Chains A and B, each alone.
Chain A
C-alpha cells in the first residue's frame, strides 16, 4: 500500500512537472511542418546555398530531430518527406572553401564548378520556404514571379526557384495546411548596415512591427490549430566586421606600421570645404571596417596624404584620398543598430506572447558564442573567431553546419518549453569525423616547419571577397537567373 502511494505520488508529481511553463498555441504536431525564414533558414553557408549545407539548416535540424526524413532530389512530390529547394554543389553562389592555413594564409576562395537547383520542378511547395535575402516584409510580398530587372533584390532572385511564382512564402506555407510552423525572420531588416554603415537602411521599428504582426496574423488565421515557434534576433558583431583593423598593418608581419611611434589610422571623409576639397580625419580606434572595404583600401583610399610620397604606397591610384562614411561603421552606428535590434526583439516578444508562440533565444546563443570564452561543447569551444571558431562560416557572417545545429537546438528548446514535448536536441557528435581514430598507435606525426594558425593575418582571395560582399547584391543573383533560364 505504501509503495502504491509512493508510486501515485510520483505520478502526480510527474503530472505537475509536465505541465508546460508556457501554454503554447496549437500542438507540437510535425506531420506537416513548414519553415519560414531567410538565408539562415535556407542553410546558406560560406557564401553559398547548396545541398551539402542545406541539410544542416536550422529548420532541417528540427525536422530531423522530430523524425522527419529530408527529401532527396529523386523523391517525387508524393513522397512523405521534408522538402527543401536543394541546389547542387558548389551551389549558388560557388561555395567558399578553405584552401590553406599555413603562412601567409589562410586562403579562402570559391570552389570551381556550377551549382544548379535540383528540385526546381518538385510538384508541391517546399516545406522549407526560407529565402536568402528575405526581410519580414518579403514574406508577404515576394513570389518569385516579379518582372526581371537589373539589380533586383537578392530575395527576388532566390525566390525565383524557391517560391516559383506560386504565391508568397506565407501563402505557400498555408497551402500545405501546416500542423507546425517555425519562423525566424528579421535579420535582413538590419543587415545592410553591416555592409553600408548607413542607419537609414534599418527597417523602421513601426514598419517592422506592422509587418511582423501581419505575418503572424496571416499564419494564425490561415492555420489556427498549428503549433508555432519564432526566434529573436542577435545583435553581436560578426567577424565580417572584425577582419580588418582600423589602422595600417604590414601584410608580411601582421604588425601595425608605425609612423613616429604611432599607428596609422585610416582617414574618412567628414565633409567638403569651400574649395570643394575633401575634409577628412583619422577614424576612431573603435571604428569597424567591413571586409568589403578591402577593395578600396587596396587602391590607397584611407591612407593619409603623407603616404603619397612613400613607396610603395605612392604607386596606388588613390593614396591620400579618404574613405567614405559608408565604407566604415562607427561605434555610434553600431549602437544605433543594437538599439534597433532591441526594439525588434521587443516587438517579436510582444507579438509572440500575444499569440502564445514560444520564442527561441537565438540572440542568447550568439551572445554565448561571441563571448570571450565561447560556448563550451564537450571536446570543443565554439567561438566567434573567423575560420577557426566553428560558428561563422567562411563568409564570416552566415553560420557553419555546427552553428546551424546549435541554432536549431535553440528552437527545439523553445518548442519543448512551450509545448512540454521532449524533442531531443541534436548532438554535436553528428559532426564527429571518425578518421581512423580508434586504431591510434604508431602513426607518424606531421613534418616540421613554420606556420601560423590564425585567421587574422590571412589571405582571402579577391574573388572570395567580391563574392562575400555581393552576397546581398546583384552579381550573385544575376547568376541565379541565368542558371534558371538555362536549366
Chain B
C-alpha cells in the first residue's frame, strides 16, 4: 500500500510532454503491448494499461503491478503546393524534426478476490505542427502545440468465475495550447508582402473531469472475450494571453502605420472540445499460444465544430476557424503469439479514418486517413515484463482540392513511426 501511494505521488508530479497527433489529435498508443497489436486491446486488456483501453480489464489482474513506458513519435512529412493556386504554386514545406515523447504510467492493486483498483497517468491527446521556416503558410500557422495530461483513478470488479467484469474511472485531464502565426501585409513602399507581426497565443493549463467505463465478458472456455469501453467527452476552457510582437520592415512610416493597427497584448480565451470514444472489441484464442483481437473504435469528433479564440480587450481581433469535423472510426486487428516460455511476439494492422472535412485541412492540423502496421515483442520472466513495439503509420495523401478557406491549397504527405516501450513489475 505504501508502495502504491509512492507510485501515485510520483506519477502525479511527473510533468508530461505530449506532442503529436493521432486520428484528429487523439493518441491511442498508451502501452507497448497494445501498440504491438495495433491498439486492438479492449477485449484482451490484460496488463495495467487496461486502465486506458478498458478499465474492466484490471479486474482480471490479481497481482499488484506497475507498468511505465513511453511512445516516441517521429513524423516525416511534406507539403507540396497546388500548381493551380496563386498562393501555393511551387511551395514545398516540411515540419521541423521532433521526436515526441508520450509517457504513460499505470499501477494496479487487487483487493480481495473480485476487486482491483488502479491509477493511470497518460496523455491521450496532443498535437504539434511546427513548420520549418520560412513557411509560406505562416499567416495561418507557424507552430501549433497542444499538450494534455490525464490522471485516472480506476476501480473494477469481476464475478468470482472471472467471466464478467465491469470497471470505471474518473479522468482528470488538463490541457494547454500554443498557437503561433505571423501577420502579413502588403507594404506599399516596396510592393512586397511583408511579415509585420508575430502573434503568439499561449494558454494556461485548463482542465475538466470526465469518466470512463468498460465491461469485459469471457466465454466459459476463455476462448472468446468481448470488451466494450467508453470514454466521455470533455470541454476544456482555456484562458491565456495574446502576445503580439511587431516585426520591423525597415520602413519607419509603414511600421508606424502597422503599429496603429495591431491589437495590444491581451487576455484571450477559448474552449477546446474533446471527443467521446467508444471501443467495441472481440478476441479469440484458438489455443493457448495464439490470441487474435479485432477492435472497432468510434471517436466522436463531430463535437469539434470550430476553433474560436476570443480576444477580451479588442473583440474585433477574435477569430473563428471552422472545423466541422465528423465522427470517425478506426479498425484494428492485433495478434499475440506466445512463442516461448518467456517471449511473446505480436503484430497488427490498423485503418484509421480521419475526421476532417477537406475544408478544415490546414497547416494547423493536416489530417488524413491512415494505414498502419505494427510489430512487437514482449519478454516476461518472474515479476519482470518488458514490451516493445513499432507502429508504422502511413497517412494517405491529402489534397485540399482547392477548397482551403485561406487558400493554402496543396497536397499533404505524412508518415509516422511510433516506437513504444514499457517496463512492468508484478509484486
Query: Residues of A with Cβ closer than 8 Å to B?
Result: 97-98, 100-102, 106, 376-380, 382, 387-388, 390, 393, 400-402, 405-406, 409, 413, 416, 422-429, 431-438, 440-447, 449, 451, 453
Contact = CB atoms under 8 A, between A and B. Distances in A.
B243 to A, nearest CB: 9
Contacts of A400: 191
27 contacts: A100-B253, A377-B86, A378-B139, A378-B407, A379-B139, A379-B184, A416-B84, A424-B84, A424-B89, A425-B83, A426-B86, A426-B89, A427-B91, A428-B193, A429-B87, A429-B91, A431-B193, A432-B184, A435-B249, A435-B250, A437-B198, A440-B247, A441-B245, A446-B246, A446-B252, A446-B256, A451-B260
A445 B257 CA distance: 11
Which of B89, B182, B185, B262 has the most chain A CB within a 10 Å cutoff?
B89
A429 B81 CA distance: 11
A58 B250 CA distance: 29
B400 to A, nearest CB: 13
Interface in B241-286: 245-250, 252-262
A-B interface, 8 closest residue pairs, ranked by CB to CB distance from nearest: A437-B195, A379-B139, A424-B83, A440-B198, A378-B87, A433-B192, A379-B184, A438-B133
B221 interface: no
A130 B256 CA distance: 39
Nearest to B134: A434
Contacts of A435: 194-195, 247-250
Given A390-B186, A437-B247, A438-B134, A427 B85 contact: yes
A425 B262 contact: no
B104 to A, nearest CB: 34
A296 B279 CA distance: 81
Contacts of B261: 453
B78 to A, nearest CB: 16
Nearest to A56: B191
Given A427-B88, A437-B134, A446-B259, A402 B184 contact: no
Given A437-B182, A449-B256, A378 B408 contact: yes
Interface in B135-159: 136, 138-139
Given A378-B139, A446-B258, 9 more contacts: A98-B189, A378-B406, A379-B185, A425-B89, A437-B138, A438-B134, A445-B245, A446-B255, A453-B261
A451 B256 contact: yes
Given A436-B247, A443-B246, A427 B87 contact: yes
Nearest to A434: B134
Nearest to A448: B259
B77 interface: no
Interface residues of B, number: 50
A377 B182 CA distance: 15
Contact of B85 (A98, A425, A438, A444): A425
Contact of A101 (B194, B253, B407): B253
B198 A441 contact: yes
Contacts of A393: 191
A101 B254 contact: yes
A424 B191 contact: no
A97 B189 CA distance: 7
B68 to A, nearest CB: 36
A431 B89 contact: no
Nearest to A401: B191
B247 A424 contact: no
A428 B256 CA distance: 25
Given A101-B253, A445-B259, A427 B192 contact: no
B320 interface: no
B109 to A, nearest CB: 48
Given A422-B83, A427-B90, A387 B188 contact: yes
Contacts of B139: 378-379
Nearest to A423: B83
Contacts of A446: 246, 248, 252, 255-256, 258-259
Nearest to A422: B83
B248 A102 contact: no
B134 A453 contact: no
Contacts of B83: 422-425
A446 B197 CA distance: 12
A14 to B, nearest CB: 15
Interface in B98-148: 133-134, 136, 138-139
B13 interface: no
Contacts of B246: 443-446
A405 to B, nearest CB: 8
A159 B39 CA distance: 74
A440 B188 CA distance: 22
Given A377-B407, A438-B134, A440-B245, A98 B188 contact: yes
Given A101-B254, A432-B136, A380 B184 contact: yes
Contacts of B190: 433
Nearest to B135: A438
A99 to B, nearest CB: 9
